[in-house]
Structure 1
Amino acid sequence: MLKSKVAVQVISSGMLPDDTLILGETYVKQWKIPQGQHLQLKFGAFRKNVKVIPVAKYDGLRISQGLAGQMGIVNGASIRLQYKAGTSTLVLGPLIGILVTRDYPHIPDKPFGSITMFCNELVEACTAQGVYVYFFTPNQIGSSPDSIEGWIYSDGWQKAVMPVPDVVNNRLSSRKLESKPSVQHFMKEVKLQHQTSVFNEKFLDKAEVFDALKKDDSIARYLPESHLLRNYIMLKSMCSRYSNVFLKPVRGSLGKGIIRITRLGTDNYQAMYTTAAGTRKQQFTSLVKFYSTISEKMKTSRYQIQQGLQLIEIQKRPVDFRALVQKDASGKWTVTSIVARTAGNDLFVSNLARGGTLSTVGEAVAKSNLSGISRQDATHRLQQAALNIARSLDTQIPAHFGELGIDLALDTSGRVWLLEVNSKPSKNDNTPLNDNKIRPSVRMMIQYSRFLSGF
């Protein structure tokens, strides 16, 4: 096994020229790196002609302060190397850039607000795997096609000018920011100019997901009847077929704006709305009257209308499941975690932001009104559905995804249904953060980045 992880030591430019690297002899021999002649050094989009000098009984890499500054590498960094003889290139990396929504430079210990803890965890996990990571926001994308001002961690958060990375993980939580021309231009250019891999490159909307999956016959069994709500005729048709239907904003998240319509009798309907304070109920003596109340909203917000399901419940509170599926070290979809989410009292959405509670699949199934299938069988069905749906979306939607949050449900007969797919799954919705533990989801993201970059 070739040694590839190396500790970087930064020394004064007066002691070492910027075009010379000192490298432990073991690495030089194992990788068959030519000595004393010029090779190309690559780190993300950074390129420079350098010479390599081997040193016996030394297990690291020494570079000058000037070169370290050009690359954004700090003293003590742990990084991987490879030598590509065909192109005479010494490659350091992988360099990963995490595109985040915003930063708070005036709060040095929490520069990314509520996701700073996740960012710290990612830095720690990257260090353990010999990966170099930095974080940047849309505002830090400048005019240079080769470099970005980002945040690195070295005894505290600090800003540094960094090369465009080998891999970008798009963790933007705002559709508006993601659709900015500068962000779209950046993602297109780094792929073209530097062969950067960008994953989770776009938000998904509900109509797009269901329309794509309808094309795959093997997925049909998971799909509740679902359409883009275009007119009253469609509303009437769905309400005549199902005693419950859901209206969901096509681009909504966290359970915002969902409406449940229940047929109570002839010309008697109840609408339940999710609000910041909980649930609001309203009675209508005809569907026409209900439709007139939402037709104004439909001018600015598109709705998906979906068949209501008889979900399993715990003490009359509906339960659904969030599966986190990720691509692994060989680029294949795998289920990292599945958690059960039980809605709060008098609510019909299970999001944690709205008072939902987390538990394991086994605990939820054991306490629920599901009968006839074992906990193991329920877990297996959910895992299989999540993998099938992820693979199908990969085929049907022309975009690069590395992780997906797939919301599933079990009905009282044990059938699995798809509720929705989220291409920007929250890092607080699977296993809780723990000061002493790097979550499997974080490790997996790094392993997939290494796969993409060839490390």
Structure 2
Amino acid sequence: MNIFYDIRTENWHHTHENADLFAGSAKEEISYKKDHSNHPLIPITIFPGNRMLVIGILTVSNPKKESGLGGNLTLFRDLSLYLLKHGILIYAFTGNALHSESLRGYVFSSTSNKWIECKMPLPDIVYNRIPSRGYEASEEFQSLINHFKEYRINLFNPCFIDKYVMFEALTEDGALTTHLPPTMILRNSDCLDAFLETHRHIYLKPCKGSQGKGIYTIIKNPDGTLFFNSLKHSESFPDFTSFWETKKRDLLKRSYLAQQAIIPKKIFGHRYDYRILVHYEKGFYKVTGKAVRMSQTQEITTHTPRGGKLFPYQDLQSRSLNQKLANIAQKCGETLSKKIGFLGEFSIDIGEDESGSLFIYEVNSKPMQFDEEEIEANRLLHLKNLFIELTFSNLTIK
């Protein structure tokens, strides 16, 4: 069976004369129409019960892009092409799409290699790929959440994860305490001074940052002098007071946490981190991708946008390491889903110290694409399976 979109009437139709087809959370009927010439055809396999699964990718507008869509368009395209091949109708949309009487979204056409604006059925699942923390804090986003609840549309991953919220949640659970470096929220100079006096070498990280942006390290030397290091430059200060007077404006204008720096294990003189991709599957959180990122141009972070490079996970893996990563993934998924809402997909940045102990640096609810093709292929497969599971099982996202 094929389905096609009639641009003139703004209706979806199918090509099977004797078939009934219903789509999306509202079970909107897709009617048969014989004439489909000059309309974009999309191959679709009907699910049992003549029910077609519909996924909406929620993003933001970007007038600078030809499509008008913002966010990770490469991921959206790859996911769209993959799901359409497996009989799932998928489109990207923004918050503005719900301001009109009908929901308007964008379907990626492999024929024309571009996004086509269409009138769309209400989705069964909204895959939250909003790239902006600011937009998630807006009234418009909250009204979208209420709209989804009203129509019983499942929201896949509710929000970005604040680093300190993550730390508190995982600490309260207790099972992952040994994998968490000592951490505190930065509120004033006294608490930072005391923390630095205790741990001597610390990181300062934006609670709502990503990709290593805004991260600093501070080392307190035996003589009381401080060495401050950012991704771009280093500075020395004779004491804590002079450091604080110079940096307090930058550190207090956004929420920061302070975290003890672990002494990382190194390869060829460079630190490395594990990056693991995790998906929910039938009651469990499964590691679906394992990668390693190694620093090169600086030793503060291993993120590739900051000069990090890929390193083969196979060169470091062991049965013990695989099991440890699996245990961390399962507990992070369980705990954070209870704290912030259902997480169907996330990634974890994990460091390793000289003794072989593992430390959780960050959990990301909107993982970027991995450079490893096999990981991305696995990701598409598990997202497809999870979308089907969430829609056609009795599982309810809370």
Where does residue 147 of structure 2 map in the other structure? 189
Match of 2:130 among 167, 172, 175: 172
Where does residue 293 of structure 1 map in the other structure? 246
Q: Deviation digits for residues 296-346 of structure 1, max 9, x if unmatched?
A: 123321110001101111233211111111113x25311111111111223
Q: Counterpart of 2:354 in 1: which secondary structure?
A: coil
Inter-CA distance 10–361: structure 2 relative to 1 (3 Å threshold): closer
User: Post-superposition shift, 1:244?
Assistant: 0.9
CA distance in 2, matches of 1:163, 1:309: 50
Q: Counterpart of 1:401 in 2: which secondary structure?
A: coil
> Size of the alignment, in residue pairs?
383
Match of 1:356 among 308, 330, 345: 308
Inter-CA distance 409–49: structure 2 relative to 1 (3 Å threshold): closer
Where does residue 415 of structure 1 map in the other structure? 357
Q: Counterpart of 1:424 in 2: which secondary structure?
A: coil
Where does residue 149 of structure 1 map in the other structure? 104
Where does residue 336 of structure 1 map in the other structure? 288
Inter-CA distance 170–292: structure 2 relative to 1 (3 Å threshold): same
Inter-CA distance 227–121: structure 2 relative to 1 (3 Å threshold): same
Inter-CA distance 44–404: structure 2 relative to 1 (3 Å threshold): same
Where does residue 384 of structure 2 map in the other structure? 446
Where does residue 47 of structure 2 map in the other structure? 81
Q: 1:417-432 maps to which residues of 2 (within 5 A)? A: 417-427=359-369, 429=370, 431-432=372-373
Q: Counterpart of 2:233 in 1: which secondary structure?
A: strand
Match of 2:260 among 294, 301, 307: 307
Q: After superposing the two structures, state which structure 1 stretch, 242-251 or 288-297, moved more.
A: 288-297
Q: Please say if residues 166 and 196 of structure 1, whose CA atoms lie closer than 8 Å, have aligned partners that are also in contact.
A: yes
Inter-CA distance 19–99: structure 2 relative to 1 (3 Å threshold): closer
Q: Please say if residues 9 and 76 of structure 1, whose CA atoms lie closer than 8 Å, have aligned partners that are also in contact.
A: yes
Q: Please say if residues 271 and 282 of structure 1, whose CA atoms lie closer than 8 Å, have aligned partners that are also in contact.
A: yes
Where does residue 159 of structure 1 map in the other structure? 117
CA distance in 2, matches of 1:136, 1:82: 27
Inter-CA distance 331–162: structure 2 relative to 1 (3 Å threshold): farther
Q: Deviation digits for residues 25-66 of structure 1, max 9, x if unmatched?
A: xxx9xxxxxxxxxxxx6421445679xxxxxxxxxxx71279
Q: Counterpart of 1:158 in 2: which secondary structure?
A: strand
Identical aligned pairs, as a percentage? Answer: 24
Q: After superposing the two structures, state which structure 1 stretch, 254-263 or 297-306, moved more.
A: 297-306
CA distance in 2, matches of 1:95, 1:379: 35
Inter-CA distance 63–307: structure 2 relative to 1 (3 Å threshold): same
Where does residue 321 of structure 1 map in the other structure? 274
- Is it true that 1:220 corresponds to 2:220 in the alignment? no
Q: After superposing the two structures, state which structure 1 stretch, 409-418 or 120-129, moved more.
A: 120-129
Inter-CA distance 21–105: structure 2 relative to 1 (3 Å threshold): farther
User: Post-superposition shift, 1:9?
Assistant: 7.3
Where does residue 368 of structure 1 map in the other structure? none
CA distance in 2, matches of 1:9, 1:182: 32
User: Post-superposition shift, 1:137?
Assistant: 2.2
Residue type of the alignment partner of 2:359: W
CA distance in 1, matches of 2:146, 2:268: 50
**Structure 2 stretches lacking a partner, 5+ long:** 394-398
CA distance in 2, matches of 1:331, 1:409: 27
Inter-CA distance 230–104: structure 2 relative to 1 (3 Å threshold): closer
Larger Rg over CA atoms: 1
Residue type of the alignment partner of 1:184: Q
Inter-CA distance 112–442: structure 2 relative to 1 (3 Å threshold): farther
Residue type of the alignment partner of 1:338: K
CA distance in 2, matches of 1:293, 1:166: 52
CA distance in 1, matches of 2:166, 2:125: 25
Inter-CA distance 10–355: structure 2 relative to 1 (3 Å threshold): closer
Match of 1:115 among 61, 68, 72: 72
Q: Counterpart of 1:23 in 2: which secondary structure?
A: coil
Match of 2:325 among 377, 382, 395: 382
Where does residue 396 of structure 2 map in the other structure? none
User: Post-superposition shift, 1:143?
Assistant: 4.0
Q: Deviation digits for residues 116-158 of structure 1, max 9, x if unmatched?
A: 33223212211232111111123333243xx321111342331
User: Post-superposition shift, 1:260?
Assistant: 0.3
Q: Deviation digits for residues 76-99 of structure 1, max 9, x if unmatched?
A: 43133343xxxxxxx522100011
Q: After superposing the two structures, state which structure 1 stretch, 407-416 or 338-347, moved more.
A: 338-347
Give the TM-score of the pair, scaled to structure 2. Answer: 0.87
Where does residue 22 of structure 1 map in the other structure? 17
Give the TM-score of the pair, scaled to structure 1. Answer: 0.76
Q: Deviation digits for residues 332-363 of structure 1, max 9, x if unmatched?
A: 31111111111122331111111100122233
CA distance in 2, matches of 1:81, 1:106: 34
Inter-CA distance 121–48: structure 2 relative to 1 (3 Å threshold): closer
User: Post-superposition shift, 1:454?
Assistant: 0.6
Match of 2:87 among 130, 147, 172: 130
CA distance in 2, matches of 1:252, 1:48: 40
Q: Counterpart of 1:425 in 2: which secondary structure?
A: coil
Q: Please say if residues 186 and 256 of structure 2, whose CA atoms lie closer than 8 Å, have aligned partners that are also in contact.
A: yes
Residue type of the alignment partner of 1:94: L
Match of 2:348 among 406, 412, 421: 406
Inter-CA distance 106–115: structure 2 relative to 1 (3 Å threshold): closer
User: Post-superposition shift, 1:106?
Assistant: 6.6
Match of 2:32 among 41, 63, 85: 63
**Structure 1 stretches lacking a partner, 5+ long:** 1-5, 29-40, 51-61, 84-90, 366-373
CA distance in 1, matches of 2:326, 2:26: 41
CA distance in 2, matches of 1:8, 1:250: 45
CA distance in 1, matches of 2:248, 2:236: 17
